[in-house]
Amino acid sequence: MRPLIEIHNVSRSYGAHVAVRDLGLAVPAGQFVAIVGASGCGKTTTLKMINRLLEPDAGEIFIAGEPTHSLPAHLLRRRIGYVFQGIGLFPHLTVAGNIGITPQLLGWAREKIAARVTELLELVSLPAELASRLPAALSGGQRQRVGIARALAAQPSIMLMDEPFGALDPLTRDTLGTEYRRLHERMGLTTLMVTHDVLEAVLLADRIVVMRAGVIVADGTPHELMQGHGDDDVRAMMDMPRRQALRVADLLDGKPARG
């Protein structure tokens, strides 16, 4: 079967700076892919080209076999969930208004939208009475739950997530990550998540893509990448969660932590 997302030889520059260089990537339906790498490695640019928040200078992207430019950008975006660190809830709309925005743009009936909002609040573990609140009245974690619910509202099959949990405290971050992974399974989503947190990538993703200076330098399951890699940077990066895990294990056993 053809992969759900296919990126073919895509490049993108900002002036003289090449952000993404001749990049290719294929993501089969149902996979949870984490794109990791240092700041400025091109991971966010790659993600934004998929729903055309940015247009590539060269190359083509296909979703379900169709080139992304075969329909207007806003129609494409209504079919793809998008979550980012800034969240960007509309401050003048209630929680329900925020969650229901894409269905509303798609012209769903009012009752159908209301039912969907109720369903989504439950799905992201938010109390129903929050529906009528404005975003300013929510905590950071609640806001990102609303952000995820908003992205899921129009039943997309693809979710693009750009550092979705980056601004949250560690506990909320862990809870939300785990919960999202469960949603991903339950709803059969295909998820591309950009993160700079390798541990998060290891714990949540089926597959990790490491980028550096606009190109992919490693691509494999967390298990594969943690076994060692020819590239020094990748090896150093993937070694970190393993070392941390061993130290934590030592501490739990009451032994002095390994250095």
Which residues in this chain contact another protein in the complex, by CB under 8 A? 51, 53, 74-79, 82, 84, 86-92, 101-102, 105-106, 150
For residues 177 and 204, the answer to whether their CB atoms sit within 8 Å is yes
Residue 49 C-beta: closest distance to another protein, Å: 13
Polymer length in residues for the chain: 259
CA 177, 180, 184, 186 torsion-angle sign: positive
> CB of residue 248 vs another protein: minimum separation in angstroms?
34
DSSP structural state of residue 189: -
- Between 106 and 248, whose beta carbon lies closer to another protein? 106
Q: Is 176 helix (H, G, I), strand (E, B) or coil?
A: helix
Question: What dihedral do alpha carbons 245, 33, 113, 137 form, nearest 10°?
Answer: 40
When the beta carbons of 102 and 142 are compared against another protein, the nearer one is 102
| Gyration radius from the chain CA atoms | 19
Smallest distance, another protein to C-beta of residue 89, A: 7
- For another protein, give the closer residue by CB, 64 or 249: 64
Q: Can you point out the beta strands (E) in 184-244?
A: 190-194, 207-212, 215-220
State both tokens at 173.
Answer: 């971050």
CA gap 256, 246 in Å, rounded:
11
Least distance CB 70 / another protein (angstroms):
16
Q: Which is nearer to another protein, 101 or 238 (CB)?
A: 101
* CA atoms of 101 and 97, how far apart (whole Å): 6
CB of 9 to another protein, least distance (A): 25
Q: Are strands 190-194 and 158-162 parallel, antiparallel or unpaired?
A: parallel
How many CB atoms sit inside 10 A of residue 140's CB?
A: 13
Return the number of the residue (96 or 237) whose C-beta is nearest another protein.
96
Give the shortest CB-115-to-another protein separation in angstroms.
19
- Residue 231: CB minimum distance to another protein, A: 32
48/229 with CB nearer another protein = 48
Q: Which is nearer to another protein, 28 or 88 (CB)?
A: 88
> CA 91, CA 35: separation in Å to the nearest integer?
30
